Amino acid sequence: MREFLWLVPALPLLGSVILMFGSAHLSVRTAAMIGVLSVGLAALIAFVISAGFVLDPPVGGVYQQTLWRWFHVGGFSVDVGLRLDPLSLLMMLVTSGVGFFIHLFATEFMEGEQGYGRFFAHLNLFVAAMLLLVLARNFLVLYAGWEGVGLCSYLLIGFWWGDPLNGLAARKAFIVTRIGDTAFLIGLLLIATRLGTLNIASAMTRAHETLHVASPMVTLIAFLLLGGAIGKSAQLPLHTWLPDAMAGPTPVSALIHAATMVTAGVYLIARTHVLFLLAPIAQFTVGIVGALTLLLAGFSALAQNDIKRVLAYSTMSQIGYMFVALGVGAWGAAMFHLMAHAFFKALLFLSAGAVTMRLHHEQDIFKMGGLWRRLPVAFWSFLIGSAALSALPLVTAGFYSKEAILSGAWADGTRGRVLWCAGVVGAFVTGVYIFRVVFIAFFGEEHTHVSGSYGWRVIVPLIVLSTLSLVGGFIQLPPAFGHITLLSDLLSTVLPAPLGATTVMPLLFASFASISGIVVAAALYWRPTHARADATPLWRFWHAAAGFDWLYDRFLVCPVLWAARIDRDDFIDKIYSGIVWVTRAGHFAVRRTQSGRVRLYAAGLALGSICLIAIAVLR
């Protein structure tokens, strides 16, 4: 069964190709069938392969598949190959499984939209690129998937291209992540020249053998890889594209935030954790970046009125948690939270999409209100998602994964304690901002008229993801609770370090933080009479996410535009405009000779021939 691994990325790619070239001739029904079935089949194959992998592990815990040789230059060869180990297995399951349910939801969400086939073509390509990224055995193949993900995010964020603002958001996402991609590419080139291979596993082994701890080279490589991860995972300071990426349709946001794209950075760091272990400064920077991002994004989410923007900032914040986990070496905890986050963030986005579907795409939470009676399915799913996001103790997946991160930070000495404090404050803020949305949007008085009901294609994904958001955490309990360690057993062959709290104190603290967040939100927004506070400067500061967009605009975009303006007529440009001028002048001079008179042409021919013959004879 394992030899069919290549089908997992190939099937969505095939679906994408069919839809791309045939979407003009396919009916909406067929397009939806192709789009969903290709990912569904991939998810099924991934599931069967994973089951086989767990029950009957291959030798060494790794299954490799070489598809073909990409190129071979002077002893340096690159194979296109797939590598299935517990880490990529987890990512493959999350990407294809959650991706499948998002596709199913999208078939109903996008009904009646222009470019239905095109939408699913790009959605399929997105999943295919992400699967290639996580299954790649080689850095270059990984990079191909990495860029594919970036391309698809551009295509899908700008899906409704009729509005120029959406195009602007798409370009912003592409360009900002491109900055990180460039750093990543330079890092890859350094790995290729320094370690002589781009095969991930052998590069890690060689790095371990040949590079010294904290040597400048390994630190540089780790920082460059971190740059790539920061761009894709929307962490400080390359985070500004993510809130604007909400311009895309809601299933796209769900896909970007849950199954693909933003988790790529976390995966990359976990995959190359050997390098980060060799470069303690880089690893510590990962944790600091994560802590700063989780606080900044959490406070920014408090000041948003758009339901999707709240979720966008919450994603940044949760990825920040994963970075904290990576920074303190709790690799397994990061992957655990990545999985749980995929479940509940997909659930939150899909239920938010289900709400806006019935409100004519109204996303302002202050125009909703009292929806729990009208839209019970969306309400319960959103509530479960919110509970998981705010890590409601004991019953949600988010609690167990976040707890694993926080106890990992707690156990990492003084530096870890600082990150732990940030995490606990973040947990409190998370409870406040997400339940602010719940209370304002779903309780209180009704502000809009809601009509219509949902089909099974909306309800089934919501139910499945709700279930996963609740029980998904039970695969790994903290040692204080019981002895279930399925995830850490699975990951033990690739990622070191244990999972889960050994002491109860920090655990109680974190639980208390998240519960008190929810309580504070309830106290403030249960009766949201004067909850709209857009006047205060503090509110405006956080609404603009601490003004990073303004900062970049003022200090990067404006100087570049200014330099371009004053540089328009410099010496080099003069050369080129001179060439243009000479050409045009010549054109005007010679144009007269094209008189259209055949006899003149003949005379010219004759004269020319006479001259040539004269030269030949008289010379």
Partner 1 sequence: MATVPLDQGLLLAAILFTLGLVGVLARRNLLFILMSLEVMLNAAGVAFIVAGARWAAPGGQVMFILVLTLAATEVSVGLALILLMHRRIPTLDADAGDQLKG
Footprint on this chain of partner 1 (rule: CB under 8 A): 591-599, 602-603, 606
SS3 247: helix
Q: How far is the CB of 593 from partner 1 (least distance, A)?
A: 8
Minimum distance between the CB of residue 567 and partner 1, rounded to whole angstroms? 37
Cβ burial, residue 483 (10 Å; 0-12/13-18/19+): exposed
Residue 193 or 594: the one with the smaller Cβ distance to partner 1 is 594
CB of 588 to partner 1, least distance (A): 10
Residue placing its CB nearer to partner 1 in the complex, 75 or 596: 596
Q: From the CB of 611, what's the least distance to partner 1, in Å? A: 15
Q: Decide whether 530 or 599 has the Cβ nearer to partner 1.
A: 599
> How far, in Å, are 63, 363, 460 from residue 381 at the CA level?
37, 17, 11
Extended beta strands in 337-417, E state: none
End-to-end CA distance of the chain: 84
CB nearer partner 1, residue 519 or residue 602: 602
**Size (the chain), residues:** 619
Nearest CA-CA partner of 176 in 290, 261, 119, 248: 261
Q: What gap in Å lies between CA 94 and CA 475, rounded to an integer?
A: 14
Nearer to partner 1, 519 or 613 (CB): 613
CB 579 to partner 1: min, Å: 22
**Cα radius of gyration rounded to whole Å, the chain:** 28
| Nearer Cβ to partner 1 (578/586) | 586
Burial class (CB in 10 A: 0-12, 13-18, 19+), 410: buried
Q: How far is the CB of 597 from partner 1 (least distance, A)?
A: 5
Name which of 451 and 583 has its Cβ closer to partner 1: 583
Nearer to partner 1, 566 or 598 (CB): 598
Instruction: Determine phi and psi for 70, rounding to 5 degrees.
Output: -75, -60
Q: How far is the CB of 573 from partner 1 (least distance, A)?
A: 30
Angle, CA 297 vertex, CA 93 and CA 437 arms, to 5°: 85
Report yes or no: 313 and 350 within 8 Å, Cβ to Cβ: no
The helix (run of H) or strand (run of E) holding residue 65 is strand 63-73
Q: Which amino acid is at 503?
A: T
Task: Please give the Cα distance from 9 to 189 (Å, whole number).
Answer: 26
376 versus 604: smaller Cβ distance to partner 1: 604
Cis peptide bond N-terminal to 237, omega within 30: yes
Helices in 443-557 by DSSP H: which ranges? 456-471, 486-491, 505-525, 537-543, 548-552
Please say which residue, 536 or 609, places its beta carbon nearer to partner 1: 609
Smallest separation (angstroms) from partner 1 to the CB of 608: 13
Question: In whole angstroms, how close is the CB of 600 to partner 1 at the nearest point?
Answer: 9
**Euclidean distance between CA atoms 134 and 130, whole angstroms:** 6
Q: How far is the CB of 604 from partner 1 (least distance, A)?
A: 10
What lies within 8 Å, CB to CB, of 589 at 6+ separation is none
